Amino acid sequence: MTRLTALKNANDATWVALKAQADTDLTFTVPSYSRGSCPVNNICYDYQGLGWLNEVEPLALAYKLTGTVAYARKVIEILDAMAAAGPAPCSADTGYASRSAVLAFALGFDWIYDQLNATQKLNYARELEGCWTWLQASGFEWNCSSGCPTAYGNYYGAHIMGYGLAAIALEGDDNGAPAILASVLNSLNTYFVPALTPGPTIVGPPLIGPGGFEGGYGVEGYNYGGSVFLRYIQFFQGMKTSGKADLFTQYLPWMKQIAKNSVYEARPDLWSITDEGEWSGPNVHVYYRFFPCDLGAILTGTTEGGWMTYLCQNLDPNYGYSGVSPAFGIVSNFDQFFYHPVSPGTNYNTLPLNFFSPGDNHSIVRSNWTTSAVHTTVNGTTQHFADHQSNIAGHISIQRGSDYMLINAGMWAGQNGAVSLETGTWPQTDNPYSNWDRNTLFYWDGGASEGRNPANSSCLEQTYQYAGCQGFWGALNPLIPPKHKEGIGWTFQEANLTRAYGNNYGLTTITDYVRSFVNVGGDISFVMDRISSPSYSTRKLTWHTPALRTATPSGIATAIHVAGSIASVTVGSSKLWIDTLLPTSPIITNSTDVLVWGQAPLSTTQAFNVSDPNASSCSINCLFLTVFVPAASGAPMPTTTLISARNYKGALVDDGVAPRIALFSSDGTPQTSVTYTATYGSSLNGRHVILDMAPGTYNVTRDGATIYSSLPVGSDGSLSFTSTGGSLYAVQAAAVAVRPPAPTSLGAAVF
């Protein structure tokens, strides 16, 4: 008979609290299974089975540690209520209860096993078989009739954990348990795709990769995704401590990657995190404290575990202001008992200031590790991995300290984006599916309503789900990995996002769309959008910011302004300048966002909409060049200058302290030379970043004098150097590798 886990020594405070809860539970009644309201002093199924789980945990634990049979008998009452109901408790919300009722069943059976008689064991084995039969036939993210399996989904991870642990617990008493575990492992090996060197094959084919989990980012966001990670890890622990295969050690490198990713995803205010993914409640982009606390303890003895413990200890308990649900700050007594850290936290402030997460393709950069830092993210994926993932290809967010300035208006909850204006409401737009309320390209080619062939249109309708044209990605769209590099003091990513703009036929009228992102110094960002599409199509960039208001319940004031090609938003003590250098003389309008596409303006967010005044004459390599400058609210906008050179466009940002220069190939074709003018003070040391160079080595001259020789350029095509002020710079190939072919136009190709 195998066991799920080995108990740790009790932490005094949490053990006292858990035993007190168990003692109270002894006085409660366990009614028959019902999804209705729960009478006072009863232990009920409650929400999706969590009522059972929350009481089985302290009761079963109290029995294991004290041997008092009364605790075990109360657990038996709960298991009997479940067994009498058949598969109904497991099937709630198409299988949500795998993470709760099924887990409670596994823990209860295992931890009070020596108090079970033969009849009870038989009844419980029948219950597991009934639930398993239902899952195979109807479980969401397990059976395609209800929603196909995806390793990234929170349902799928719950099924792996719940049924995997239940099969381990009932092995020897349920003849079908080995087959259940074999099926769980086979499914895991089929669908679970972090790019790791696989260990021994347990069942089925070797583990495959790369995939969306490779970088350790929760593709459904940290509302759903963080819990998915912990469920996998709990199953790995169960496999190891029961004497099965040591999946925990096999996947330890991936768990460390999750921890590292989470450090970078945490924003400078130390309470918020990415708001990508769907947040199903009145609070948005708030870091659940249990995640770094639990993961830190699980990874005890590793550097990454120390980082998580440090983050757990330093998260702001007040979330910067009042209004966030206390649930985000709670680490349950049960979790504290099992996952309390046994070593001190380790400050991560010696890590590099930039990070690329492969698979999900997020680039993250920050200006420093303080709570006032500038934090910038850009999403370069076109892969749709899971149900609650946002269609958000190309989205950029910028936050300075606690001031969130370039926002995801599709998951905005009022005030400074974290709390709905009315208690208990959803985020104001609550729209993870389209991209009209993200910082992306808004595209529209007329669609069927304009009499065009639907098979040649990238959007069949302009509804809330398709507005902006990222309405269909398709799980099978082949991934085009972005180019990227993380240098000291500079970061870049160049992603082809064409395949994010497809219709339900897998077709698009955009022949090429590339977004190139360069950040220099950790704060100032350059974004080049290169678009090829029919001249009749609508192409505009949308930059979403908090709304204009003089005061808010949180005391944060915001102001929005447009002057010529420069837009700005002031949030709290910070200001974000948005300078559009291309197209020349852009049309920039400021509009109030809407809650649902097509409605009147009702939201509390604003958008700067940037369009080309000559769009009808452009169809190939239509360029948008934008510079983002986040700074203190009283700081002036630095001088920005458009750089035009043969085959290149770019910009110089000169703040009088540290000039920054970024150059982008006008058509994306790799180049072997560029000569450009960038004039700034001779006492200033400027950072130059040039993209789209052919691999090889390059010499650099300033005003005719050589300042660098044989600088290497790899397959990412980026070159960077620093130089004190001059005027005329020339970058010339010294030796060039075999020139790669020019980018292939995607056209109206099937994805």
Answer yes or no: CATH 2.70.98.70 is held by domain 354-637. yes
The domain spans of the chain are 1-191, 354-637, 638-751
Confidence of residue 694 (pLDDT cuts 50, 70, 90): very high
Residue count (the chain): 751
Helix (H) or strand (E) holding 639: strand 639-645
Tell which CATH classification among 3.40.1440.60, 2.60.40.2750, 2.60.40.10, 3.30.70.100 matches the domain 638-751.
2.60.40.2750
Residue 743 is predicted with a pLDDT of 47
Which residues are paired to 362 by β-bridges? Answer: 357, 379
CA proximity to 496, closest of 511, 475, 518: 511
pLDDT at 631 (0 to 100): 97
What are the distances in angstroms from CA 358 to CA 214, 257, 300, 380?
6, 11, 25, 10
Q: What is the mean pLDDT of residues 258-277?
A: 94
In this structure, what are the phi and psi dihedrals at residue 215, rounded to the nearest 5 degrees? -85, -5
pLDDT band at 506 (very low <50, low <70, confident <90, very high): low
Integer CA distances (angstroms), 556 to 381, 417, 525, in order:
33, 11, 24
- Per-residue confidence (pLDDT) for residue 447, from 0 to 100: 67
Summarised one tens digit per residue, pLDDT across range 60-114 is 999 999 999 999 999 999 999 999 999 999 999 999 999 999 999 999 999 999 9
Q: State residue 735's pLDDT score.
A: 76
Do 425 and 282 meet the contact criterion of CB atoms below 8 Å apart?
A: yes
Q: What is the pLDDT of residue 291?
A: 95
Measure the CA–CA gap between 251 and 229, rounded to whole angstroms: 11
Q: In what order do the strands lie in the sheet with 705-713?
A: 673-677, 728-736, 696-702, 705-713
pLDDT the model gives residue 200 = 39
Cβ(562)–Cβ(590) under 8 Å? yes
Q: Is the pLDDT of residue 235 over 70?
A: yes
pLDDT value at residue 343: 74
- 587, with CB counted inside 10 A (0-12, 13-18, 19+), is middle
What does DSSP assign to residue 547?
Answer: P
Q: Report which of residues 640 and 330 the model is more confident about.
A: 640
| For residue 55, pLDDT beyond 60 | yes
Confidence of residue 194 (pLDDT cuts 50, 70, 90): low
Query: How many C-beta neighbours within 10 Å does residue 205 have?
Result: 10
Question: Band of the pLDDT at 270, cuts 50, 70, 90?
Answer: very high
Does a cis peptide bond (omega within 30 degrees of 0) precede residue 210? Answer: yes
Q: Does the pLDDT at position 552 exceed 50?
A: no
CA 85/CA 170 separation, integer angstroms: 19
Give pLDDT tens digits for 555-596: 455 788 888 899 999 998 999 999 999 999 999 999 888 777
Q: What percent of the chain has pLDDT over 90?
A: 63
Specify the amino acid at residue 253: P
Q: How confident is the model at residue 504 (pLDDT cuts 50, 70, 90)?
A: low
pLDDT tens for 276-328 read 888 887 888 999 999 999 999 999 999 999 999 999 999 998 887 667 888 89
What's the pLDDT score for residue 573? Answer: 92
**251: pLDDT strictly greater than 70:** yes
Report the pLDDT averaged over residues 665-672. 96
Q: Enter the tokens of residue 60.
A: 């079963």
Q: Average the pLDDT over 332-361 and give the result.
A: 90
Is the per-residue pLDDT at 747 higher than 70? no
Bin 165: left if φ > 0, else alpha if -120 < ψ < 50, else beta.
alpha
206 falls in which pLDDT band (50, 70, 90)?
very low
Q: Which residues contact residue 411 at a Cβ distance below 8 angstroms, ignoring those fewer than 6 apart?
A: 275, 276, 277, 278, 279, 284, 285, 390, 427, 429, 430, 431, 432
Asked if pLDDT for residue 477 goes beyond 80, the answer is no
pLDDT at 421: 60
Q: Which residues pair with 452 in a beta bridge?
A: none
Residue 702 has pLDDT above 50, yes or no: yes
Q: pLDDT by residue (tens digit) across 512-546?
A: 999 999 999 999 999 999 999 988 888 999 999 98
Helices 101-111 and 69-84: angle between axes, nearest 10 degrees = 140
User: What pLDDT does 560 receive?
Assistant: 83
pLDDT of residue 749: 29
Alpha helices, H only, 464-623: none
For position 623, what pLDDT does the model report?
Answer: 97
d(CA 288, CA 296): 13
Mean pLDDT calculated for residue range 383-397: 88
- Any idea what the Cα angle at residue 123 is, between residues 118 and 126, rounded to 5°? 125
pTM for the full predicted model: 0.92
- Tens-digit pLDDT profile for residues 138-180: 999 998 888 888 888 999 999 999 999 999 999 999 999 999 9
Asked if omega into 583 is within 30° of 0 (cis), the reply is: yes
